Amino acid sequence: MTSDAECVRFLQENLPRLHLRWAGFRKVRRIVCKRIDHRLKELSLPDTDAYRDHLESHPDEWTVLDAFCRIPISRFYRDRDVFQFLEQAVLSRLSETAIAGGEATMWCWSLGSASGEEPYTLAILWRHSLASQFPMLAIRILATDADPEMIARAERGCYPSSSLKELPEAWRKEAVGPSGEECCIKPAYRAPVTFLLQDIREGIPEGPFHLILCRNLLFTYFDETQQRKLLRAILDRLVPGGAFVIGRTENLPEGDFGLEGWSNRAGIYRKIIRAVARFGTARAVPGDG
Ligand SMILES: C[S@@+](CC[C@H](N)C(=O)[O-])C[C@H]1O[C@@H](n2cnc3c(N)ncnc32)[C@H](O)[C@@H]1O
- CATH code, 133: 3.40.50.150
d(CA 193, CA 171) in angstroms, rounded, equals 17
Residue with CA nearest ligand 1 atom 20:
199
Last residue of a domain, one of 12, 47, 68: 68
224 and 108 assigned to the same domain: yes
64 and 86 assigned to the same domain: no
In the predicted structure, residue 90 carries a pLDDT above the cut 50: yes
- Please give the number of the atom of ligand 1 that sits closest to the Cα of 214: 6
d(CA 71, CA 76) in angstroms, rounded, equals 16
Q: Considering the domain boundaries, does residue 289 fall inside one?
A: no
pLDDT of residue 213: 98
Out of 28-32, 37-41, 107-111, 175-179, pick the least confident. Answer: 175-179
Is 78 within 8 Å of 118 (Cβ atoms)? yes
- Judge if the beta carbon of residue 226 lies within 6 A of ligand 1: no
119 and 261 assigned to the same domain: yes
Average pLDDT, the chain: 94
Mutate to test the pocket of ligand 1, among 68, 70, 215, 218 (most ligand atoms within 8 A of CB): 70
91 and 170 assigned to the same domain: yes
Q: Considering the domain boundaries, does residue 282 fall inside one?
A: no
41 and 130 assigned to the same domain: no
Count of other CB atoms within 10 angstroms of residue 186: 13
Determine the 3-state secondary structure of 139 from DSSP: strand
Is 126 within 8 Å of 210 (Cβ atoms)? no
Q: Identify the band that residue 280 occupies on the pLDDT scale cut at 50, 70 and 90.
A: low
Q: 41: burial class by Cβ within 10 Å (0-12, 13-18, 19+)?
A: exposed
89 and 52 assigned to the same domain: no
- Judge if the beta carbon of residue 78 lies within 6 A of ligand 1: yes
What mean pLDDT comes out for the span 12-17?
98
**Of the candidates 109, 214, 118, the residue with the CA atom closest to the CA atom of residue 164:** 118
Q: Considering the domain boundaries, does residue 99 fall inside one?
A: yes
- Judge if the beta carbon of residue 150 lies within 6 A of ligand 1: yes
Q: Indicate the DSSP class of residue 162.
A: G
50 and 93 assigned to the same domain: no
Q: Identify the band that residue 286 occupies on the pLDDT scale cut at 50, 70 and 90.
A: very low
Last residue of a domain, one of 20, 38, 68: 68
Last residue of a domain, one of 48, 68, 88: 68
pLDDT of residue 125: 98
d(CA 56, CA 54) in angstroms, rounded, equals 5
Out of 152-161, 215-224, 278-287, pick the least confident. Answer: 278-287
d(CA 122, CA 83) in angstroms, rounded, equals 8
In the predicted structure, residue 44 carries a pLDDT above the cut 70: yes
Domain that holds residue 266: 80-276
* Residue 6 alpha carbon to ligand 1 centre in Å: 26
* pTM metric for this prediction: 0.95
**Of the candidates 13, 30, 35, 31, the residue with the CA atom closest to the CA atom of residue 22:** 13
How many domains is the chain partitioned into structurally? Answer: 2
154 and 264 assigned to the same domain: yes
Is 62 within 8 Å of 107 (Cβ atoms)? no
61 and 94 assigned to the same domain: no
* Residue 195 alpha carbon to ligand 1 centre in Å: 13
Mutate to test the pocket of ligand 1, among 86, 149, 217, 229 (most ligand atoms within 8 A of CB): 217
158 and 224 assigned to the same domain: yes
pLDDT of residue 181: 85
Is 190 within 8 Å of 199 (Cβ atoms)? no
Tell me how many degrees the CA angle 281-275-229 measures, rounded to the nearest 5.
75
23 and 145 assigned to the same domain: no
Whole-number percent of the chain with pLDDT over 90: 92
Residue with CA nearest ligand 1 atom 7:
74
